[in-house]
Amino acid sequence: MTDMSDLIDRKRRKRSRLSVQGWLYVVLGIMGAVVLVGMVAGIALLQQSNDRSNALVLTVQPARIAALQLQSALIDQETATRGYAITADPQFLEPYETGRKTEDTHVRELEQLLVDDPGLVKSVIEVERAADTWRADYVDPVLANVVPGSPKLIDAQLAMAGKSAFDTVRAKMDQLNAQISDVRAVRIGELTQTRHLRDSVLAATVGVFFATSILLAVLVRVAVTRPLANLAAACRRTTEGNFDESIDPQGPRDIFDIGVAVEAMRGRLVAALQLSQEQHRTVERQARFLDAQSVELRRSNAELEQFAFTASHDLQEPLRKVASFCQLLQKRYADKLDERGIQYIDFAVDGARRMQTLINDLLSFSRVGRQSVTSEDVALDATVDDAMRNLSTAIRENDATIVCSHRPLPHVTGDPTLLTMLWQNLIANGMKFHRPGTAPTIVIDWHAGEGPDDSLVLMVSDNGIGIAEEFSDKVFIIFQRLHSREAYPGTGIGLAMCKKIVEHHGGRIWIDNEHTDGTRFCFTLPGASYTSLEMMKGIAP
Residue-wise pLDDT tens digits, 165-197:
788 888 888 888 888 888 888 888 877 888 888
d(CA 58, CA 46): 17
Residue 540 has pLDDT above 50, yes or no: no
Q: What is the pLDDT of residue 350?
A: 64
Which secondary structure element, helix H or strand E, spans residue 66, and what is its range? helix 61-87
Confidence of residue 409 (pLDDT cuts 50, 70, 90): confident
Task: Give mean pLDDT, residues 380-401.
Answer: 86
Least confident of 24-33, 126-135, 363-372, 433-442: 363-372
Residue 248 has pLDDT above 50, yes or no: yes
Q: What is the pLDDT of residue 457?
A: 86
Q: Between 253-332 and 20-55, two packed helices, what is the crossing angle to 10 degrees?
A: 140
Q: Are 311 and 359 in contact (CB under 8 A)?
A: yes
Task: Give mean pLDDT, residues 112-140.
Answer: 84
d(CA 376, CA 413): 5
Residue-wise pLDDT tens digits, 50-71:
776 776 777 778 888 888 888 8
Q: Which of 466, 453, 468 is nearest to 518 (CA)?
A: 466
Residue 118 has pLDDT above 60, yes or no: yes
Burial 42-77 (b: 16+ CB within 10 A, else e): beebeebbeebbebbeebbbbbbebbebbbebbebb
The side-by-side arrangement of strands in the sheet containing 401-404 is 401-404, 441-448, 456-462, 520-525, 509-511
Q: Which of 491, 541, 501 is nearest to 521 (CA)?
A: 501
CA 503 to each of CA 115, 210, 216, 510: distance values in angstroms, whole numbers, following the listed order: 115, 78, 70, 11
Burial 229-264 (b: 16+ CB within 10 A, else e): ebbeebeeebeeeeeeebbebbbbbebbebbbebbe
Q: What is the pLDDT of residue 212?
A: 77
Residue 297 has pLDDT above 80, yes or no: no
Residue-wise pLDDT tens digits, 513-535:
888 788 888 988 876 543 444 44
Residue 11 has pLDDT above 60, yes or no: no
Confidence of residue 541 (pLDDT cuts 50, 70, 90): very low
Task: Give mean pLDDT, residues 286-298.
Answer: 80
Cα three-residue angle 306-310-312, rounded to 5 degrees: 120
Reduced to 3 states (helix: H, G, I; strand: E, B; else coil), residue 524 is strand
Task: Give mean pLDDT, residues 148-168.
Answer: 72
Residue 76 has pLDDT above 50, yes or no: yes
Of the two residues 268 and 392, the one the predictor is more confident about is 392
Residue-wise pLDDT tens digits, 446-469:
887 665 555 788 889 888 887 777
Residue 353 burial (10 A CB sphere; 0-12, 13-18, 19+): middle
Residue-wise pLDDT tens digits, 305-334:
666 666 555 566 666 667 677 777 767 776
Q: Which of 238, 342, 356, 359 is nearest to 308 (CA)?
A: 359
Confidence of residue 149 (pLDDT cuts 50, 70, 90): low
Task: Give mean pLDDT, residues 197-205.
Answer: 80
Q: Are 368 and 500 in contact (CB under 8 A)?
A: yes
Residue 281 has pLDDT above 70, yes or no: yes
Residue 7 has pLDDT above 60, yes or no: no
The HSE-up count of residue 248 (CA atoms within 13 Å, CB side) is 6
Residue 161 has pLDDT above 50, yes or no: yes
d(CA 22, CA 13): 18
List of residues 6+ apart from 377 with CB closer than 8 A: 411, 412, 413, 529
Which secondary structure element, helix H or strand E, spans residue 257, and what is its range? helix 253-332
**Phi, psi (degrees; rounded to nearest 5) at 148:** -55, 130
Q: What is the pLDDT of residue 480?
A: 58
Q: What is the pLDDT of residue 300?
A: 67
d(CA 273, CA 31): 49
Residue 538 has pLDDT above 50, yes or no: no
Other residues' Cβ atoms within 10 Å of the Cβ of residue 216: 17
Other residues' Cβ atoms within 10 Å of the Cβ of residue 498: 24
**Phi, psi (degrees; rounded to nearest 5) at 416:** -60, -35
Which H, E and C letters describe 97-133, residue by residue? HHHHHHHHHHHHHHHHHCCCCHHHHHHHHHHHHHHHH
Of the two residues 155 and 405, the one the predictor is more confident about is 405
Q: What is the pLDDT of residue 265?
A: 75
**Phi, psi (degrees; rounded to nearest 5) at 83:** -70, -40
Other residues' Cβ atoms within 10 Å of the Cβ of residue 144: 8
Residue 181 CA from chain centroid, whole number: 74
Other residues' Cβ atoms within 10 Å of the Cβ of residue 288: 10
Residue-wise pLDDT tens digits, 222-239:
767 777 777 777 777 777
Q: What is the pLDDT of residue 150?
A: 67
Q: Which range is most confident: 106-110, 245-249, 256-260, 349-353?
A: 106-110
Q: Which of 279, 235, 247 is nearest to 7 (CA)?
A: 247
Q: What is the pLDDT of residue 530?
A: 38
d(CA 69, CA 180): 13
Q: Is the peptide bond before 249 cis (omega within 30 degrees of 0)?
A: no
Q: Are 378 and 501 in contact (CB under 8 A)?
A: no
Q: What is the pLDDT of residue 180?
A: 83
Q: Which of 219, 224, 227 is nearest to 28 (CA)?
A: 219
Other residues' Cβ atoms within 10 Å of the Cβ of residue 348: 17
